[in-house]
């Protein structure tokens, strides 16, 4: 797998560091990935996750180039209203006779988009803030710790809801926050606390290490030390954290959509479950089952893969 070699190379700390650090950097990633590759189940899960991601990417492409394929044609009427699963419509149809299968596939795009955007936002906020707080300490640290202590003293679900309610349909800088934009903003803006705390702690630990001291004595700029030396050394923690957090984001999107705060115009898993709530009583279980299964498989795959990743990359955290 030459891919992993590439990752190793780009992530490797710059050559100015001591030989011991360099060796450690390489062995951490290559060792970890080798360990990971040995876990068959984890690799299966990785493939499942990849399938979801590529499906989402594919739907984006299809919409961009206007390909007329299943998921982008979800709005098309393919049968009677509420037709049960059959050979024609594998997962049956909904109230308008739209294919549940297509809707479920399309929902992948919404969920993956929300979870990805939310992850990027929270990394973009959490990592620099954590690094600054951990590296400079002092007033900057005090302020950052104060901000995240404040945020974490409000229950998470309440915080997301409050953000989502307030941000919904607001126009900010001429851009209207409709549907999922408000959702991933709300999730992203509220969930950087964990990663920020983690990075801050790690940076404090690493600050006293030889390679950092060496870089300082070379006269490297602070920005260089943080972004070229420290962050690459704690990068695996970010990846582990997010492989697990991704699941939480997907579930948060489902709940927000269910509460009517999410995507309204296009199919999403949360909205499908919301519809299914009423339909169950007339015996229409397929919408519910399809959405549940879609969520279940990606969550399961991400959970198992995230665990395996953690076990492989961070031996200290290993459980077994």
Residue 247 near other proteins by CB under 8 A: yes
d(CA 90, CA 101): 7
Whether residue 302 contacts residue 244, with contact meaning beta carbons closer than 8 Å, is answered with: yes
Give me the least distance between CB of 279 and other proteins, in Å please: 6
Nearer to other proteins, 50 or 95 (CB): 95
Q: Tell whether residue 239 is a contact of other proteins (CB under 8 A).
A: no
Burial class (CB in 10 A: 0-12, 13-18, 19+), 251: middle
| 12 vs 266, beta carbon nearer other proteins | 266
Q: Decide: is 205 part of the binding site for other proteins (CB under 8 A).
A: no
**Which among 88, 111, 89, 112 has a CA at the least distance from the CA of 100?**
89
Q: Could you say whether residue 96 binds other proteins (CB under 8 A)?
A: yes
Among 151, 204, 214, 239, binds other proteins (CB under 8 A): 151
Q: Is residue 258 near other proteins by the rule CB under 8 A?
A: yes
CA 149 to chain centre: 23
Among 2, 10, 153, 217, binds other proteins (CB under 8 A): 153
**Counting contacts by CB under 8 A, is residue 178 touching other proteins?**
yes
Among 120, 213, 300, 315, binds other proteins (CB under 8 A): 300
User: Interface with other proteins includes 63 (CB under 8 A)?
Assistant: no
The nearer residue to other proteins, 33 or 294, going by C-beta atoms, is 294
- # of chain residues touching other proteins (CB under 8 A): 62
Radius of gyration of the chain (CA): 22
Mark residue 76 as left, alpha or beta (left: phi above 0; alpha: psi -120 to 50; beta: remaining). Answer: beta
Least distance in Å: CB of 83 to other proteins?
Answer: 14
Quick check: 261 binds other proteins (CB under 8 A)?
yes
Min dist. Cβ of residue 48 to other proteins (A): 12
Query: Considering only CA atoms, which of 319, 314, 210, 306 is closest in space to residue 249?
Result: 306
Rounded distance between C-alpha atoms, residue 166 and residue 185, angstroms: 11
What mask of x and - would describe binding to other proteins in positions 69 to 88, judged by CB under 8 A? ------x-----x-------
Q: Which residues contribute to the site for other proteins (CB under 8 A)? A: 75, 81, 95-96, 146-147, 149-151, 153-155, 157-159, 161-163, 165-170, 178, 247, 251, 254-255, 258-261, 264-265, 269-271, 273-282, 284, 288, 291-292, 295-297, 299-300, 303-304, 307, 319-320
């Amino acid at each position: 797998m030459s891919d992993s070699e590439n990752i190793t190379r780009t992530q490797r700390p710059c050559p100015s560091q001591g030989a011991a650090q360099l060796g450690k950097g390489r062995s951490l990633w290559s060792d970890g990935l080798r360990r990971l590759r040995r876990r068959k189940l984890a690799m299966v899960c990785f493939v499942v996750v990849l399938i979801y991601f590529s499906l989402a990417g594919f739907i984006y492409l299809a919409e961009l180039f206007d390909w007329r394929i299943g998921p982008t044609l979800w709005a098309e009427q393919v049968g009677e209203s509420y037709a049960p699963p059959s050979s024609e419509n594998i997962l049956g149809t909904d109230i308008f006779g739209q294919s549940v299968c297509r809707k479920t596939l399309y929902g992948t795009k919404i969920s993956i988009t929300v979870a990805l955007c939310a992850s990027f936002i929270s990394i973009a906020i959490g990592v620099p803030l954590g690094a600054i707080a951990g590296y400079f300490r002092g007033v900057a640290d005090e302020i950052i710790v104060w901000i995240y202590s404040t945020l974490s003293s409000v229950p998470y679900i309440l915080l997301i809801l409050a953000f989502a309610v307030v941000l919904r349909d607001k126009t900010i800088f001429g851009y209207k926050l409709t549907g999922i934009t408000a959702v991933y903003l709300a999730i992203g803006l509220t969930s950087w606390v964990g990663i920020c705390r983690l990075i801050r702690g790690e940076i404090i630990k690493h600050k006293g290490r030889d390679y950092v001291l060496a870089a300082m004595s070379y006269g490297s700029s602070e920005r260089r030390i943080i972004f070229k030396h420290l962050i690459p050394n704690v990068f695996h923690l970010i990846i582990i954290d997010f492989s697990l957090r991704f699941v939480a984001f997907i579930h948060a999107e489902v709940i927000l959509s269910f509460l009517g705060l999410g995507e309204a115009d296009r199919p999403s898993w949360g909205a499908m479950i919301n519809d299914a709530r009423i339909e169950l009583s007339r015996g229409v279980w397929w919408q519910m089952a399809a959405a549940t299964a879609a969520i279940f498989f990606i969550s399961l795959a991400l959970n198992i893969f995230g665990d395996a990743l953690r076990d492989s990359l961070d031996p200290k955290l290993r459980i077994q």
